[in-house]
Amino acid sequence: MNTAAKLSAYGVALALVAGGGWAAGTAVGPFPGKAGVRGGEDTAHGDAHSGTVAEAANTGQPGGLASSRGGYTLTPTSTTLTPGTNAPFTFRITGPDGAPVTAFDVEHEKRMHLVVVRRDTAGFRHIHPELGADGTWTVPLAVPEAGSYRAFADFKPAGAAATTLGVDLVAPGDFRPVTYQPSRVATVDGYRVRLDGDLVPGRSSRLTATVTKDGRDVTDLQPYLGAYGHLVALRGGDLAYLHVHPDGEPGDGRTPAGPGVTFFAEVPSNGTYRLFLDFQHAGQVRTAEFTVATTSVAGAPAAAGEGMGHEH
């Protein structure tokens, strides 16, 4: 096959990958606002000690599915990445007046949380760009392999509502998607993390991640971004973005530094979710990954299609 034919075939394959993700998301559909998840505009934040993130969308659209919402737009300088190369990734958030936004509120010790993940949910990255005077955000970004990626910008403009915007990026090359079987136990760098609890759509779901190393409980987890753990959930198919936070915080007099970190989350619809837990120990942040299907009631599998609708 000549070079032109190869490039053409790659372009068709990549379009099918992106189109398949879009189609799956359309099939799932948008959904109305719920407390306990992050992902919409016109939001209200709950008490950090309640264990829920409170961001409710009035638009009926999940977080991260749109690059523009509520007058704010995520615009990367380039949407092309080079696999295996650590290069600056730059972008701006423009406001309702079309000008770059330069004032952001600090949330969880940062003004911007950027999550980058391949559309098959491989290669998860949670990073924190730096803001320039002209409104340009910059962060070193390396993706290990080719494929179609989704970047989520999680932020709160000063004096405005918190929101999450998403944009597609592409890393050219041979792309072979991976699939994940349900899993509640993750191992990373010698740590074993077990996730207990059921994801029940429409209600507050208690999840506890228990961290051990060499068969012993880890009881000296270190604060990371003001908490003992951060959990990001992505809904299968459309990558709807849910950002949940733990019950309690370091120094509150009631929250131990492990081995368990408890979260309260509300998932908007039935389906399978990929969950990514960031935790810090011995001075290093690690990420544990889980694949969890929802249940209709605690301990019982959800019926296919049940609860699907217009939520977030």
Domain boundaries, the chain: 3-171, 185-301
pLDDT in tens, 223-266: 999 999 999 999 999 999 986 878 999 999 999 999 999 999 88
- Report the C-alpha gap between 95 and 3 in whole angstroms: 42
Q: What is the pLDDT of residue 222?
A: 98
- For the beta carbon of residue 248, count every other beta carbon within 10 angstroms: 19
- Read off the pLDDT of residues 49-87 as tens digits, 9 standing for 90 and up: 322 233 333 456 678 999 999 999 999 999 999 999 999
pLDDT score recorded for residue 245: 72
Exposed e or buried b for every residue in 260-297, given b needs 16+ CB within 10 A? bbbbbbbbbbbbebbbbbbbbbeeeebbbbbbbebbbe
Q: Classify residue 138 by burial, with Cβ atoms within 10 Å: 0-12, 13-18, 19+.
A: middle
Question: What is the rounded CA–CA span in Å between residue 149 and residue 166?
Answer: 10
Q: State the alpha helices, DSSP H only, in 151-199.
A: none
**Which residues contact residue 172 at a Cβ distance below 8 angstroms, ignoring those fewer than 6 apart?**
10, 80, 83, 146
The answer to whether the CB of 223 falls within 8 A of the CB of 203 is no
For the chain, residues with pLDDT lower than 70 are: 1-61, 243, 297-312
Beta strands at 295-297 and 300-301: parallel, antiparallel or unpaired: antiparallel
Q: What is the 3-state secondary structure (H, E, C) of 288-299?
A: EEEEEECEEECC
Q: How far is CA 10 from the centre of its chain?
A: 27
Question: Domain 3-171: which topology?
Answer: Immunoglobulin-like (2.60.40)
- DSSP annotation of 84 reads T
Handedness of CA 223, 260, 233, 286 (dihedral sign): positive
* Helix spans in 101-222 (H): none
What does the pLDDT read at residue 144?
92
Q: State the distance between the two ends of the chain, measured CA to CA, in whole angstroms.
A: 46
pLDDT at 86: 96
CATH number of 185-301: 2.60.40.1930
How far, in Å, CA of 64 to CA of 149, rounded? 13
User: Reading across the β-sheet that carries 163-171, which strands appear in turn?
Assistant: 125-127, 112-118, 147-155, 163-171
- Evaluate whether 3-171 and 185-301 have a shared fold: yes
What pLDDT is recorded for position 242?
85
Which pLDDT belongs to residue 216? 98
Quick one: pLDDT at residue 61? 67
Q: Is 194 helix (H, G, I), strand (E, B) or coil?
A: strand
Judge if the upstream peptide bond of residue 259 is cis by omega within 30 degrees of 0: yes
